[in-house]
Amino acid sequence: MSFPRHRPRRLRATPALRRLVAEHRLGPDDLVAPLFVREGIDEPQPIASLPGQVQHTRRSLRAEAAELAALGVPAVMLFGVPARKDPRGSEAWNPDGVLARALGDLRADLDDDMVLMSDLCLDEYTDHGHCGLLDSRGDVDNDATLELYGWVAATQAAAGAHVVAPSGMMDGQVGAIRAALDSAGFAGTAILAYSAKYATALYGPFRDAVDVRIADGGDRRTYQQDVANAREALAEIRADLDEGADMVMVKPAMAFLDVIARVRDAVDVPLAAYHVSGEYAMVCAAAQRGWLDLDAVAAEHVLAVKRAGADFVLTYFARHLAESMQ
Ligand code: PBG
């Protein structure tokens, strides 16, 4: 009888040994909390498909951000839900619009103690729900959209964003936004590019959170990436870095761990991943039925995303996880 000489189980024998040899560990610093602020409401509105998440009032947003900061979460990603939507999404660059106001509130409350990131897109603001301007045929007009993104970027930076995060997947958006920020005097405002963002069914609950319905049963397949493609993500990432992105993102996370790992090998800038609404909702739904242990699966998901190579993770579990880490 021969016994194995290599015995990995030796190092799994006790919790302290397992802690000692863990290759990755989670802390509040790994987390970014996505938060929604809605105009024209007096009370926070629960989002049915995102259990535990709400559309905040300006007031409840301030309280939530302060609590996240106290829990050690270093950053939030803010989304605005305007009362009025129009074809161009003009509330997105209104300096008195809901997102600009909320950024001002949080900057006044927390200043530099929390990194304020703002999602930079038009879909929450357009009445047709697309991420850009439509041309006369109803197609998203890439280059006409870039100018508007520049206005949104300058508005968000002026309102207090430390980081703007373009998520519309227009070609050239990072370069256009960098130029707009620099010429408006915001050379210090960073860009976190949603570089490899896929056209996935996993954003369903998010669209409830921001009251977006894409007109005429449309979708985002002409601008977001095809789920079939991984190599293409590297081209998207390289283009964004060439145009001046400071950090890049892969989105969604769990279904794209291969993409995260490949991007990690290819770039040295900070890499984010977005554990999106559908990924969160699946875990919550199973946990509500008693089919999964929510705390354990939430931590496993975020750990898996880090193991794949992400430096930080945008997740609706941010607060819950940070609480469990205290
Ligand atoms: C676009 C945007 C989306 C998400 C973040 N930014 C939706 C989309 O592209 O349709 C999705 C986030 C999530 O599902 O949690 N502004």
**78 DSSP β-pair partners:** 35, 118
Report the pLDDT value the prediction gives residue 181, as an integer from 0 to 100.
Answer: 98
Residues of the chain where predicted confidence (pLDDT) is lower than 70: none
CATH of 23-324, one of 3.30.70.100, 3.30.565.10, 3.90.1150.10, 3.20.20.70: 3.20.20.70
pLDDT at 170 (0 to 100): 98
Token pair belonging to 66: 């302060």
* Annotated catalytic residue, options 251, 262, 301, 306: 251
Q: For ligand 1, atom 10, which residue shows the shortest CA distance?
A: 203
Give catalytic status of residue 251 as yes or no: yes
pLDDT at 97: 98
Asked if residue 121 has its Cβ within 6 Å of ligand 1, the reply is yes
What residue ranges do the domains of the chain occupy? 23-324
Catalytic residue among 178, 197, 275, 306: 197
User: What is the distance in A from the centroid of ligand 1 to the CA of 206?
Assistant: 6
Per-residue pLDDT at 2: 82
Give one DSSP letter per residue of 143-200, joined into a string.
HHHHHHHHHHHHHHHHHT-SEEEE-S--TTHHHHHHHHHHHTT-TT-EEEEEEEEB--
Any atom of ligand 1 within 6 Å of the Cβ of 277: yes
